[in-house]
Structure 1
Amino acid sequence: MVTSDERELVADLRGGDPAALATLFDRYGDRLYNHCFRHLGDWAEAEDATSSVFLEVWRHRRRVRLHNGSALPWLYGVATNVCRNAGRSRRRRQRALARLPHPASEADHAEAVTDRLGSEARMRAVLAQVEALPAHEREVLGLVAWAGLTYEQAAAALDVPVGTVRSRLSRARARLAQEVSDD
């Protein structure tokens, strides 16, 4: 539970105070960035998505909703929508690029790039199994299992009943367990 400080912060944001947006970013930017990475599996896309999340928050600042005194569930809802749109854009871009001839590429052997690519490859392997889930189950899994929201907070972020969150998460876990046992 968050103190009245968050209520005041949201009131300031709704009033158009850019410092309130900066405070929300400082408070929740890292969590939303990780949430975006878990959805997109790419650090650069996650950075872009996180920027888009806060642009959307500013554009829709009068719509911010608190859940148990916290704006975080609403922010996760915005982030989920931004990631969904980014994923669609990526798929369209990939289909367009697949129609072009492939240029020769050279590998970069820098250690930092290798580490980054390794983490992206691992995340993509996980996402390959997660992407087999229906979209509504992926969203619940991302919010509860990866972002650490409670069932109630996830329900608020997705604007669905708590029971729906529980059943979607249960089905997602069962499907993933079956995938792991099949592999």
Structure 2
Amino acid sequence: MEFQTTRKLRDFDTWGEVRRAWEAGETGASLARRYDVGLDNLWRRRATESWVRRKGPDPKPEPIEGWDRYARAKMEAFELKRDETRQLAEVLAAAMQGGPLERVPLWHAGHVLTWRAEHLETEVAAADREYFRKHAWTDGFWDAAGRLEDLWVLDQVTLEANREAWREDAGLPPGVAEVWP
């Protein structure tokens, strides 16, 4: 009894499909089964023809809590930030229309003062200066002639005077990253 082996001959189009599929990330074993090509031949062609797989981005690992809980936490954080932003907008809008400054957050005081000085009457600017006299560090907001400094100066004065509050807001413990701010 004689055994005769038949050679599997595949055309260039078939091998082109195999190459494109392998370079896209499909496994050699699955391609050998699907196209009925020998796995050894596939590896040989891959080596001789210098097939290269395209490196795609690494998949994002699943969070420990699972995607649903992760998404819920992200939505809650988003809604909280959105609501805080809306409340801040209302406070700033009221202050910019001449309303009280008591609720204006510290870090926005310079912007509100600048806006009010540019858009409201001089009496409001004078009242603002009187209001801020309660903080000794706000003397740097006005020059010797009584004019309000530029916004960047106001922001710098506020940051320097309230350095520890900024560091606490940023979550920096004492003794680390001392050059900030």
Q: Which structure carries more relative contact order (alpha carbon 8 Å, separation 6+)?
A: 1
TM-score (norm 2): 0.27
Query: Over alpha carbons, which structure has the higher Rg?
Result: 2
